[in-house]
Amino acid sequence: MAIIGLAMSNFFLSKDVFQAIVFARENSFAGVEIWADVPFCHPDLFADKEREKLKKILTENELVYTLHSPLFGIDLGSVNPGIRKESIRQTKAAIDLTKELNGEIVVVHPPKTPSRLAQVKEYIYQLAKEAISEVNQYGKGKGVTVVLENCGVDFNDWEENLDDFLSLVEGCKLDVCLDIGHAHCSWGIEKTIESLREKIKCIHISDNHGKKDEHLPVGMGNINYQSILSYLKNFSGMIVHEIQYYQNDEWGTKESKKNLDKILEVVTSN
């Protein structure tokens, strides 16, 4: 059975990393996705004392966790060599933090593109393949699995279609973080799962109406979770509620869990 977790990014600026963990524990979440970026625990800003405290709290509360690598301003396929080099450095720093916390999985994003022209996409593919392969090998050396999250929801996302994403996954020999909301807005959830099934190590879950990535609580959009119920029930990794309901982030996170628990027929004490 899947482990149900929450993303720290649900509480952007309203909680710190430790408050997010307390919320997870008090609301029957079994795991967290650590946001290794501002305002939570960017590797360049997260002091040694805070790292030790985080490691201790995670262990004491027996929480399962993944880590999302830095995202803001990061692009592992950037045509700007300085940005690409810095993106590699910060992603490796996130891997180091994961290792320090005794974690196992780091989530990274595919590249962006300034143009959909075929020659531009191929150029960026080669840049991204080299950079992501480098961080993937670095992760393996640390005993950390690097997983690529499916995006494809914005015009400047490099991967226009599922085949694009698969080419990067296979070219870099990666596993995958399945984002159900992204798949609903792009290539279709069932098709995406079928194509990536054996490579999916963790899942981001939210809801939307199929037009844009709204990150709504489960039950507030039109995603048909019954169509993938069997897959979700048999998934053994962590399903992370990644919700951006900032008008009431606590309610949105709890509502999403309540609705997914109902779909999965999970009995909780809350």
Q: Residues 66-101, buried b or exposed e (16+ Cβ, 10 A)?
A: bbbbbbeebbbbbbeeeebebbbebbbbbbbbbbbb
Contacts of 10 (CB under 8 A, 6+ apart): 20, 241, 242, 243, 244, 245, 249, 252, 253
Residue 65 lies in a domain: yes
Q: Which amino acid is at 201?
A: K
pTM (2 decimals)? 0.96
Residue 138 lies in a domain: yes
Q: What is the DSSP string of 117-163?
A: -HHHHHHHHHHHHHHHHHHHHHHHHHT-EEEEEP---STTBS--SHH
Distance, in Å, from the CA atom of 242 to the CA atom of 9, rounded to the nearest integer, reads 7
Q: How do residues 183-235 score in pLDDT, each as one tens digit?
A: 999 999 999 999 999 999 999 999 999 999 999 999 999 999 999 999 999 99
Instruction: Kindly report the CATH number assigned to the domain that includes residue 163.
Output: 3.20.20.150
Residue 38 lies in a domain: yes
Q: How do residues 33-85 score in pLDDT, each as one tens digit?
A: 999 999 999 999 999 999 999 999 999 999 999 999 999 999 999 999 999 99
Three-state DSSP class for residue 7: strand
Residue 237 lies in a domain: yes
Contacts of 170 (CB under 8 A, 6+ apart): none
Q: How do residues 145-163 score in pLDDT, each as one tens digit?
A: 999 999 999 999 999 999 9
Q: How do residues 222-268 score in pLDDT, each as one tens digit?
A: 999 999 999 999 999 999 999 999 999 999 999 999 999 999 987 55
Distance, in Å, from the CA atom of 44 to the CA atom of 46, rounded to the nearest integer, reads 6
Residue 15 lies in a domain: yes
Quick check: 269 pLDDT over 50?
no
Q: In this predicted structure, what is the pLDDT of residue 1?
A: 83
Looking at the structure of the chain, the number of domains it has is 1
Percent residues over pLDDT 70 in the chain: 98
Peptide bond into 39 cis (omega under 30): yes
Residue 270 lies in a domain: no
Residue 269 lies in a domain: no
DSSP state of 225: G
Of 182, 178, 192, which Cα lies nearest the Cα of 157?
182
Q: In this predicted structure, what is the pLDDT of residue 268?
A: 53
Q: Facing residues of 108 across strands?
A: 148
The total of other beta-carbon atoms located within 10 Å of residue 143's CB is 12
The secondary element (H helix, E strand) that includes residue 202 is: strand 200-205
Q: In this predicted structure, what is the pLDDT of residue 214?
A: 97
Q: Residue 122 sits in which domain range?
A: 3-264
